[in-house]
Amino acid sequence: MQDPAPSTELDQAPGQPGGQPSHPRAGERMSGAEMVVEVLAQEGVGTVFGYSGGAILPTYDAIFRYNERERAADGADPMPLIVPANEQGAGFMAAGYARSSGEVGVFLVTSGPGATNTVTPIRDCMADSVPVVCITGQVARGAMGTDAFQEAPIVNIMGNCAKHVFLVTRPEQLEETIRTAFEVARSGRPGPVVVDLPKDVQNWVGEFKGSGVLGIRGYRQRMEALRQTEISERKARQFFEMLEKARRPLLYIGGGAIHGDGSEAVSAFAREYGIPSVSTVMGLGAVDTKDSLHLHMLGMHGTAYANYAVEDCDFIIAVGSRFDDRVAAKAELFAPQAEHVAHIDIDAAEIGKVKRVDWSHVGEAGHAMEQLLAYGRSMGFGPDYSRWAAHCDKLRDKHPMAFKEDGALIQPQAVMRTLNEITGGEAIISTGVGQHQMWAAQYLDFRRPRLWMTSGSMGTMGFGLPAAIGAQFANPGALVVDVDGDGSLRMNLGEMETVTTYGLPVKILLLNNNGDGMVRQWQKLYFNDRFSASDKSLHRKDFIKAAEADGFAFARRISDRDELQAGLQAFIDFDGPAFLEVMIDPDAGVYPMVGPGMGYKQMVTGDYIPGREVPEIGKGGRVDPSEAF
């Protein structure tokens, strides 16, 4: 699927209104800024994140006046404007809002440095297929290209980062542009859309039409074709012929299964035929991680039993996953015994990009799996994969997640295990990036989709706290926990104040190992213990004092392992914002680990997770099929 190419100017003709009901203010004269706000309301936007500045002030003022006019009887603003410490924080808040709700997140920033500060969250959303709309202020059209104060070439900068970039140069197309931005963000493979909005266009006054979109006919035709795509009877039969021959099929589930509303269908398919499953880091929660057939996360730091199942399977069914380098560093070493590979994805560009496949379907994950399930039922397909499922159970028993249980130092895995016991896999969890991210992914359960938020493809430190704030706004009654590291938390530390400013009950759990733990682990393994710039033990930051200065009534530190259970329980139970710092073993590593360019056969399981020696039987060192049971 090809998305619309970024454009420097809007030259599309207006499209049809798409059956939208007439807006009550249609026909009124209003400013461009007011039109933007009316369309945001029309799109159902309930929260806007952003930081103001000269080039976006007209739109900020329009939001103020809209809230004043439409304020609820209880005094609540219909479109609260949440102000972060930094524009990057606004972008990650919008991303957290979108990831946890499935709705389009919105952030609004000024021109120049305000807009450039959003490049990282835009690229992060693009890499993880998160639907957001970012509206950036821009200098007046007449000043563009003159290096005016706080001017930046946003179209050029964002063009390779976003799904699409609109520059509004024709004010009469403004409202259509904003509606189209939402349409593009949420349709097909979701992603971020940027609207660059000159200040004079915001101040322009014209007639509000109340409906209409841009005429991006080719894109809409492709999206409609995707929505109508059915798996033909011939293709369904081919799929089940492969499945019927398989003895050891494995579902490999990615984030696309969540974006494509495929969780229920994938889970039903797995249960119907007794097929084990594994998830990517972005796919966690698509299948209940406590399901007896689910083997949790695969990949570089996946569970040993998940990776061994990949080694042993003979048919890979990839759903909304893309064989990225953290899962298949060398495509030829991934699932070496798989005689067939099937791939379902909404983006045709992902099919065969990394791994050759024998069967594929381009379409939404949920609809595709529903069709396959229906076809299998119609043909009376009733396989028996019980021996394979029993083998996977043995893998789980023989190669469980384990860590150092003795000693005086607190082990991070123990922190995650205890947190999981308390939350039961029902909390919304966000993370920064590093070791703490992987420990959270390995040891926490996710009973349903959209409980797990992490920067997967970009690996952006500083993601966790602002994403948790966005998720809390989207889910005001939910338990939201940011599992963070000292390095990642420093990146957007200013957003701690945002938590207390808005009285959010966000829980910040800091695993402090006085350094960049994942970098240190790689330096230990591959750079002969040369810990260049990764040791932060001399840094003077007192996180507890910082939390107290930002207004956290609950701000505690745990250094004694005997205090862990009670401390975590008090932290979770606290009514309001809470900050808990746990001093962990600085030498704790993330295992299992599949080294760069290695296959799962070379997985290092560390000192506490039992590994296995695979006999090199047959050509290419493949496991004899008889060894799989």
Number of H helices, E strands in the chain: 23, 20
For the chain, the 3-state helix, strand and coil shares in percent, each to the nearest 5, are 40, 15, 45
Tokens matching residue 130: 């998160």
Determine which one of 518, 521, 536, 552 is catalytic: 518
Q: From CA 66, how far away is CA 79, in angstroms rounded?
A: 8
Give the Å distances, CA to CA, from 201 to 137, 155, 171, 197, 210: 10, 16, 5, 7, 17
Give the pairing type, strands 105-109 and 132-138: parallel
| 240 included as an active-site residue | no
The identity of residue 86, as a single letter, is: N
Can you tell me whether residue 21 is helix, strand or coil?
coil
Q: From CA 254, how far away is CA 345, in angstroms rounded?
A: 10
| 150 included as an active-site residue | yes
Give the Å distances, CA to CA, from 137 to 112, 149, 207: 8, 12, 22
Residues 172-185, buried b or exposed e (16+ Cβ, 10 A)?
Answer: ebbbbbbbbbbbbb
Can you tell me whether residue 109 is helix, strand or coil?
strand
Q: Is there a contact between 511 and 485 (Cβ–Cβ < 8 Å)?
A: yes
- Among residues 495, 436, 116, 190, the alpha carbon closest in space to that of 301 is found at 436
- Among residues 231, 235, 240, the alpha carbon closest in space to that of 379 is found at 240
DSSP string, 293-330: TEEEE-STT--HHHHHHHHH-SEEEEES----TTT-SS
Q: From CA 432, how far away is CA 216, in angstroms rounded?
A: 37
Determine which one of 64, 79, 144, 150 is catalytic: 150
| 408 contacts: CB under 8 Å, gap ≥ 6 | 561
- Among residues 278, 293, 261, 318, the alpha carbon closest in space to that of 450 is found at 261
Determine which one of 2, 28, 70, 149 is catalytic: 149
- Among residues 91, 94, 146, the alpha carbon closest in space to that of 115 is found at 91
- Among residues 195, 199, 196, the alpha carbon closest in space to that of 143 is found at 199
Determine which one of 92, 126, 182, 199 is catalytic: 199
| 518 included as an active-site residue | yes
| 149 included as an active-site residue | yes
Separation of first and last alpha carbons in the chain: 41
| 1 included as an active-site residue | no
Environment class of residue 418 by beta-carbon count within 10 Å: exposed (0-12), middle (13-18) or buried (19+)?
A: middle
For residue 578, the 8-state DSSP code is: E
Q: Is there a contact between 13 and 220 (Cβ–Cβ < 8 Å)?
A: no
Determine which one of 34, 38, 87, 581 is catalytic: 87
Report the catalytic residues: 87, 149-150, 199, 518
